[in-house]
Amino acid sequence: MGSADDETIAYAVQRRRLRRWRIGAIAAVAGAFLVAGAAGHRGDNSPLFAGGKVKTPHLVEIKVHGMIGADVSRWTKAIAAAGKDTTAKGLLLDIDSPGGAVTGGEELHDAVERFALTKPVVASMGGLGASAGYMIALPAKKIFAERSTLTGSIGVLMEAPEFSGILGKVGVNVQELVSGPLKGQPSFSKPISPEGRIMLQGVVGNLYDQFVAMVVAGRHMPEAQVRVLADGRPYTGEQALKIGLIDNLGGHEDAQAWLAKASGVPEAAKIVEIGAQQKTFNWKRRVLGWFGGVVMSWFGLDADIFLPQANVGIDGAVSIWKP
């Protein structure tokens, strides 16, 4: 057997070894994903996550970061459970949000308001606590914000894209049948009619009135004064303090210290996050997604299509600060 044959055999052995190594590596990493995912899933159902099994007096915290969607049930259910828990002595709202769906903000506001009937609530705003993000802070006994926090932006927005100009240029005509002249308003295929504009402005105006009423009740301010402030503009924390939209300048630790004192628990008392996003584990999706990403990367292609994407449902009217 010549040296060429020896090289061929050695090359084949090396390829088999490399193939086995790759398969073993894939299996090991996939197993690690399974173990980590199962552990994370168990953690979601732990007593601390449920927020009602801590035996000693403690504080609970809700983190509202990012856009507020229409479905806030995980927060409202957690707040309701904490309200019934005799060892949960107070609620800290950690807010860093530009706002979002009016319905989501309203439901969360009402849940906090019910909790505040029996136990103290404090709100701590980070970089943003605007629009619906400000709405949910209103039932708090005290609202803290940094000097640079953007808050306020009290108002409601309803918008819809309208493509009639583009559709006309490309020769597309949309045939629409409606049960009444206001049923198809707004529409992406035609401008809003004068009657439709009046109708939709009435809807926005009513939602705005509801928001103003929340500010009046939460901040104990005259309605006329609130309407002057509530023209949609944002305020810095420093400005908001001067006009009465917040109570104190300070951060998360300041708010927690105030809540501990108001709740009658030691300042070092445990604070338990409730209502966090549950991490449901689908092993098929996780493993196949990871495997697909590995395969795609081997071919030099973009593997982002295998990554799960966050989806925040926001439909209808919104209360959001848009820079």
What positions carry a catalytic annotation? 131, 183
The Cα–Cα gap between 254 and 57 comes to 20
The Cα–Cα gap between 279 and 312 comes to 15
User: From residue 4, how far is each of 7, 12, 262 by CA, in Å?
Assistant: 5, 12, 84
102-116 and 73-84 are packed helices; what angle lies between their axes, rounded to 10 degrees? 0
The Cα–Cα gap between 319 and 159 comes to 11
Strand partners, 92: 61, 122
The answer to whether the CB of 108 falls within 8 A of the CB of 73 is: no
- H or E element in which residue 42 lies: helix 3-44
3-44 and 283-298 are packed helices; what angle lies between their axes, rounded to 10 degrees? 140
The answer to whether the CB of 323 falls within 8 A of the CB of 150 is: no
User: From residue 80, how far is each of 50, 107, 119, 315 by CA, in Å?
Assistant: 11, 12, 12, 25
Strand partners, 62: 93
